[in-house]
Amino acid sequence: MADRKRVLVMGNHAVVEGAIYAGLNFYAGYPITPSTEVAEGCARELPKIGGRFIQMEDEIGSIAAVVGSSVAGAKSMTATSGPGYSLMLENIGYAYMTEVPLVVCNVQRGGPSTGLPTKVSQADTMQAKWGPHGDYTAIAVAPSTIEDTVTETIRAFNLAERFRTPVTILLDEVIAHSRAIINLPEPGEIDIYNRVKPTCSPEEFIPFEMTENLVSAMPAYGEGYRYVVTGLTHDPMGFTTNKPSEIFPKLDKLRNKIMNYREETVKIRTEQMEDAEIAFVAYGSVSRAALQAVDLARKAGVKVGMVQLYTIWPFPEKQVKELCANCRKVIVGELNMGQIVHEVRRVLPGDIEIHTLQRYDGEILTPLQLLEKLEEVL
């Protein structure tokens, strides 16, 4: 990867570029369309930098290896699509509970089940929040261009390391399989966050210590700090507990370590929202169509803007509320039967009309469809 200026990069390879920039040194996965090029890219690039790539027997083995390698100190990732993501959920839940930083890239295709391998979808939006069972707080990001697939992947790793938690990259097939001429970030251009390591002696080490920001220091296995990792609810020493007085704080920790600092997770792009009377709310590839629709409608004299969510979870409710406060109407476009729209509806006051535009036939929403909807609600 010598050339970093004006290179043609595919969305899935942009994930690889971003991940390696962020310090990825372990990848385990099982190839699945439309995510396979992420695995191919990691298989090609990781050995060059002393990293490891393993093709596992299936997606369950893949995520298990990713969890294990992260506990052993690696920056780890896997990539998959709907059917594989569903198989991974149990161990992603394990990573929430054991507070293991890792990144899962879900290149969304049509579902349910094996669905549409080569077709686009955004129907895993809610799964990225509520996939595994139990209570926890999820972080998920949604890139929309090749360039921001690189930067959002870096951000996913930084958030995973910062909060000691799994982070999902919700890519979709259109971005994954498109290419664009981009400039890759130069070394040092973007800050990289690494997990905090313990400074105390192994004897004094408390593996799930309630620190001020609720994120505990994380040594690598083999560095001399011995501790238990279990999916059972555990006390600060990592041992299984059934005591309400310890269960409450553990679950609060999983939520509050993120929610108390949720502003750090938020990323939004706005377009022409200053005087907008109508706003598109979009994420992923749909935001590209919305951006085009805003540009075309503005030239035709309509006061319309766009709020693009890069951070899907936690849902940036304060920002969406503030940005849409002066709008009369909001149009939520999604490649599913309506998922993020429920969040938009939840946070916006009742006097703002909310309209939906949903496509789930394996094709992307086009600027023309968004403009037709805009015309209908004007």
Partner 1 sequence: MGALLDKIEIPSDRFELRLSGSGGQGMILASVILSEAIGASDQRNVTQTQSYGPEARGGASKSDVVISPNEIYYPKAMQLDMLLAMTQESLDSYFPNLKEGGTLVVDTTLVTEFPTDNYYGLPFTQLAREDAGHIMVANVIALAAIAQLTGIVSREALTNAVLKRAPRGTEEKNKKAIDIGFTEAAKLKKG
Rule CB under 8 A: which residues touch partner 1?
6-8, 33, 117-118, 145-146, 174, 177-181, 285, 288-289, 291-292, 295-297, 299-302, 364, 366-368, 371-372, 374-376, 378
Cβ at position 112, least distance to partner 1 in Å: 17
Between vectors from CA 309 to CA 191 and to CA 267, what angle results, nearest 5°? 25
Residue located via tokens 């993120």: 258
Comparing CB distances to partner 1, the nearer of 222 and 301 is 301
Comparing CB distances to partner 1, the nearer of 11 and 18 is 11
Comparing CB distances to partner 1, the nearer of 119 and 162 is 119
Cβ at position 289, least distance to partner 1 in Å: 5
Comparing CB distances to partner 1, the nearer of 113 and 245 is 113
Contact yes or no for 360/337 (Cβ under 8 A): yes
C-alpha to C-alpha distance for 249 and 255, rounded to whole angstroms: 10
Cβ at position 40, least distance to partner 1 in Å: 15
Structure tokens at 118: 């080569």
Cβ at position 144, least distance to partner 1 in Å: 10
Q: How far is CA 345 from CA 177, 265, 321, in A?
A: 32, 21, 10
Comparing CB distances to partner 1, the nearer of 126 and 180 is 180
Contact yes or no for 291/278 (Cβ under 8 A): no
Cβ at position 363, least distance to partner 1 in Å: 9
235: which residues sit within 8 A by CB, 6+ positions away? 208, 241, 243, 246, 250
Cβ at position 377, least distance to partner 1 in Å: 11
C-alpha to C-alpha distance for 294 and 101, rounded to whole angstroms: 38
Comparing CB distances to partner 1, the nearer of 180 and 196 is 180
Cβ at position 109, least distance to partner 1 in Å: 11
Structure tokens at 331: 């149009």
Q: Which of 108, 102, 56, 64 is nearest to 85 (CA)?
A: 108
Helices (H), 46-182: 59-71, 82-98, 127-130, 146-163, 173-176
Considering only CA atoms, give the Rg of the chain: 21
Comparing CB distances to partner 1, the nearer of 160 and 182 is 182
Contact yes or no for 56/87 (Cβ under 8 A): no
Comparing CB distances to partner 1, the nearer of 75 and 288 is 288
Q: Which of 286, 292, 312 is nearest to 304 (CA)?
A: 292
Question: First-to-last CA distance in the chain?
Answer: 49
Cβ at position 367, least distance to partner 1 in Å: 5
Structure tokens at 292: 């085009």
